Amino acid sequence: MPEINNSSSSSTKEVPESIMICLDTSNWMENTESPMFKEQLEAIELYCDNIFKSNSETVVGVFGMADLNLHTMIRPTKNIRAIKRAIDGAIIGGNLRLLPAATRAHFHWFSRYHTDLQKRIVFFAGGPLYSPLGEGRALGMRMRKINVRCDVISFGDPYMEKRELFNTFIQIADNNKGNCNVCHVPPEYSVPQALSRSKIINPCVGVGSSSPPPSTHKEMAIQICVKSPPSRAKDANTDCPFCQRVLLILEEKNLPYVTHPIDLDNKPEWFAEANPDGLLPLIRFDGGQWVSNSDVIVEMIEMKHPGTPLITPPYYACLGLRIPQKLLAFLKKENERTHHALLAELMILEEHLLENGPYVNGGDVTTVDLSLAPKLYHLVKACEHFKNWTILEEFTKVFNYTNLLFERPSFKKTKPLPEDVTAGWEDRKLKS
């Protein structure tokens, strides 16, 4: 489930609020038509719809949070259409500026409009945040001093060093009152999906359960729940690339584990109790609590089992992150723009491998390779099936890289059936 601080819901409003949404308009968004920006807009619409229903007197405005758009985009209003139009007209460019955005917005906005309402700032941050931890502490102290409640929705590259800063900021700003929350969006879920399951939106979200699954295996073995493949074929592996990523790491570290395939259309009762959000993969070590979010799981595996280290330097970890987004856009609507965007992602990887290969970090496989392997396998199978296009032949280094990955014993043991991969992408095309 999305990692969330505190137990109260920000969306349960006892009093009306004047809310400022700090919008990610950084270079990372590329443009207002990119999948990342559209996900952010969809999540903001969800948020606004929820808080307007919670209290009809609440008002919301939007403030740009990057160098080229560090100003008010729309003053506080109850008009969700006006908010959407303002966001559609955003100027993209520069780096995220957390502290300046909050400071300027408070000075120019909260001191002028709706001064009688409780104030709240909601930060949407997808791109990298080039701020020291001390800036998060300072902002938290300032928001607490002037009684401004805060929420953070952190998404995008999980290795952009935002987790610790945002956790620190929210913890200080909240001061154990339960009015501030942070939602770290797992890479396997969209921003709206994770937000809808977070305490920012849903006050009933739990933090998991230690209830065991019905299993006769030894409790000391690692228990991992994965998505059932579409075919439900006996012994077929999960088609979820994020679940396979975790399985690959367990295999590479030669750790004993027991898998529990979960049919998301017919969840077993124990799974619903252990994981109210229904997010996968889900893992449990040594009979402890269940944990979701593949990034958190990978970190925990490395911490608990440091033998055969697979740690990737943070500056390499963003490679290929956007491939699934670009692939989905291409499969849904093939045109020059979506085609070029997908090729551009592969060219970045091609150029990196040319200088640093055969693996991302040189001669040894690391976690980023094990994250890329399922993504590239899905890319190959989906393009072959839906577009009759052997895409990787255009990229020699990437092609050789995939052969290395796909021939590893860990990948052969955990790879899904091609028909399950294509069935999964067909379902994504219909739902998106």
d(CA 232, CA 212): 23
Q: What is the pLDDT of residue 58?
A: 94
Q: Is 89 exposed, middle or buried, given 0-12, 13-18 or 19+ CB atoms closer than 10 A? A: exposed
**Is 208 within a domain?**
no
In the three-class reduction of DSSP (H, G, I as helix; E, B as strand; rest coil), residue 129 is classed as coil
What is the separation of C-alpha 50 from the centre of its chain, rounded to a whole number of angstroms? 21
**Is 260 within a domain?**
yes
Same domain, 62 and 155: yes
Same domain, 115 and 231: no
d(CA 66, CA 63): 10
Tokens of 354: 């040319």
Same domain, 124 and 177: yes
Sign for the CA dihedral angle at 141, 201, 160, 25 comes to negative
Same domain, 233 and 187: no
Q: What is the pLDDT of residue 48?
A: 95
Same domain, 427 and 388: yes
Same domain, 229 and 343: no
Tokens of 277: 């959000």
Same domain, 298 and 412: no
Q: At residue 250, what is the residue type? A: L
CATH of the domain at 419: 1.20.1050.10
Indicate the number of domains in the chain. Answer: 3
For the chain, how far is it from start to end, CA to CA, in angstroms? 21
The residue behind tokens 């999906």 is 193
Tokens of 147: 């009684």
Q: What is the pLDDT of residue 312?
A: 82
Listed residues 162, 196, 230: the one ending a domain: 196
Same domain, 342 and 381: yes
Are the beta carbons of 365 and 359 closer than 8 angstroms?
Answer: yes
Same domain, 366 and 273: no
Active site residues: 240
Tokens of 224: 């991992």
From the list 59, 192, 195, 45, the residue with the least C-alpha distance to 120 is 59
Range of 271's domain?
A: 222-304
**Is 381 within a domain?**
yes
Please give the sequence-ordered ranges of beta strands (E in DSSP) within 104-204, or none if there are none. 118-125, 148-154, 181-184
Listed residues 179, 196, 213: the one ending a domain: 196
Q: At residue 397, what is the residue type? A: K
Same domain, 257 and 326: no
In the three-class reduction of DSSP (H, G, I as helix; E, B as strand; rest coil), residue 18 is classed as strand
Same domain, 238 and 349: no
Are the beta carbons of 90 and 49 closer than 8 angstroms?
Answer: no
d(CA 137, CA 134): 5
d(CA 28, CA 175): 32
Q: Which residues of the chain have pLDDT under 50?
A: 1-13, 204-212, 214-219
Are the beta carbons of 260 and 216 closer than 8 angstroms?
Answer: no
Query: CA 271, 237, 304 angle in degrees (round to 5)?
Result: 65
